[in-house]
Amino acid sequence: MATIELAKRVATRPTWAEVSLSALRQNFRIVQKHVGDGVTICAVVKADGYGHGAVECARALEDEGARWFGVTSLDEAIPLREAGIHSRILLMTGFWRGEEEEIVHLKLTPTVWETGQIELLEKAAAHMDARLPIHLKVDTGMGRLGVAPEDLPQLCVALKASKHLVVEGLSTHLASSEVLDAPSVPEQLQSLDRVDQLLENEGFHPPLVHAANTSAVISRGESWNTMVRPGIALYGYYLPFERAGREVSGKGLRLPVKPVLTWKTRILSLRDVRANQALGYGGIYVTKAPARVAVLPVGYADGFNRALSSRGRVIVGEHYAPIVGRISMDLTLVDVTGLPDIAVGDEAILLGARDGLSVDAREHAALANTVLYEILCGISKRVPRRHIS
């Protein structure tokens, strides 16, 4: 009994992430309006909804009208089905041998690019007397997954022999969609068009053709085809655009999406320290004058990137507070010297906005020399997500 009661306890450690489902829905509406009603959105909720909570986000998006979801693999699809998500689910990176019957049973849509995958799915669908839609992925230049265009005729032979599979989709992935002058993008799109024509000649007519991720959704209308796969835009972000190696912006390169996630904690302790006091592991930060330091119960085990040490900042009250010293596994120090009315238990915003102040995933990514995807996906499981309608 004690074990069961312990398992049901709500996390009380004061570090949490608030996920605004209303902002998520608004972002979906913005993307749909941008591409138009004639283009189907496959809302990407892989990596636990980019760290936002895939099940809760999928429920909100389904209520908003999303009819397709993109995940990495079967293990990401199962929780969605168990949660009652009825929309179509695309397995964007294929499947492992042995998963094919579960794919048919759960009415998932696998991406394929090899004859062995086709044979496994055909056998499973025939065994269960089912018709299984599949999406064919072609490698147009990314060099990761997909059938090479020159190998497509051999794949078509296997597809024609598969009586229980339906070629519903054709897809590829753009390698440099945020680089506006990248020659690879038009080359990849032309390659996709040639493959589509080849499939037509072989008697296949996939109604869903898709290549566009978030950057292409924003900047390359010619890539939309009949389906797009926005991911990070749904959560309020997109990568900066480049031309000639420099970041560029403009009216046509913006979508008014807003960040969905706010990451918060509370001040655990306040300490008054003397001048010339070394703080944290290694003593890399030394106070120049007497200071007041707030201890926050958050660290790199929560996904608070260690590269922010003595570089990043948080929001405390109506002010920015710089991070001082090295971020440790469970604790972070910030300088609150001179900030009025600061007390133990006060909120500190790690990611988010308040009173005209903002710290977002782009800022963290720039300081950590990484991409904002890693910042959001890196928020660990020990940080509870609170989904707010």
Q: Please give the positions annotated as active site.
A: 46, 281
CB 14 within 8 A of CB 266: yes
CB 365 within 8 A of CB 306: no
**Strands ordered across the beta sheet of 291-296:** 269-273, 291-296, 332-335
Side-chain-side CA neighbours of residue 186 (13 Å): 4
Orientation angle between helical segments 115-127 and 152-160, nearest 10 degrees: 10
Cα–Cα distance for residue pair 175/129, rounded to 1 Å:
38
Q: Diameter of the chain by CA atoms?
A: 78
What are the Cα distances from residue 349, in Å, to 64, 151, 315, 319?
A: 29, 52, 5, 10
Residues 6+ apart with CB under 8 A from 379: 17, 51, 261, 263, 302, 303
Whose tokens are 């330091």? That residue is 293
Closest CA to 260 of 350, 355, 349, 360: 360
Whose tokens are 């910042």? That residue is 375
What are the Cα distances from residue 25, in Å, to 7, 29, 125, 198, 235?
A: 32, 6, 35, 38, 10
Structure tokens at 94: 């294929």
Cα–Cα distance for residue pair 278/380, rounded to 1 Å:
29
- The total number of residues written for the chain in this structure: 389
Residues 6+ apart with CB under 8 A from 134: 109, 110, 111, 112, 118, 121, 165, 166, 167, 168, 169
Residue 240 DSSP one-character state: P
